[in-house]
Amino acid sequence: MKGGYMLNELDPLLHSELRLAVMSILIGVEEADFVYLREQTNATAGNLSVQLDKLSTAGYIEVRKSFKGKMSHTTCRITPVGIDAFARYVDTIKGYLHISG
């Protein structure tokens, strides 16, 4: 996928519908909790859990697990690394979409 025309490689971590959705939401907000993300993306909890792990492992988001009483509560926020990766992804995919600027 390298060396071609004008098509650079798309970050495989972001080129996934659910992970991209999560990043898209997080980039516009200070932080969001697990339930909010699940509602907004309509993902199953299991799928969301897995994808948040991947984003977290990559350092794209920070996941904080706290307790409200004894009930767990998970909040996520995007990191500077994540913001950067998202920006690069946007630039790259613009090449595919024939969007200039």
Partner DNA sequence: GGTAAGTAGTTTATTTTATAAACCAACTAA
Partner DNA sequence: TTAGTTGGTTTATAAAATAAACTACTTACC
Is residue 23 at the binding interface for DNA, with CB under 7 A as the rule?
A: no
Give the C-alpha separation, 33 to 92, whole Å: 29
Q: Which long-range contacts (CB under 8 A, 24 or more apart) does 76-81 make?
A: 76/22, 76/26, 76/31, 76/32, 76/33, 76/34, 76/37, 76/52, 77/26, 77/30, 77/31, 77/32, 78/23, 78/26, 78/27
Cβ 52 to DNA shortest distance, Å: 6
Site for DNA in 27-66 (CB under 7 A): 33-35, 43-52, 54, 65
Residue 98 sits in the site that holds DNA (CB under 7 A): no
Q: Is 16 in the site for DNA (CB under 7 A)?
A: yes
Residue 40 contact among a copy of itself, DNA, none, beta carbon within 5 to 8 Å by kind: a copy of itself
Question: Taking the complex as a whole, how short is the minimal distance between the CB of residue 65 and a copy of itself, in angstroms?
Answer: 24
User: Which residues of this chain interact with DNA, rule CB under 7 A?
Assistant: 12, 16-19, 33-35, 43-52, 54, 65, 69-74
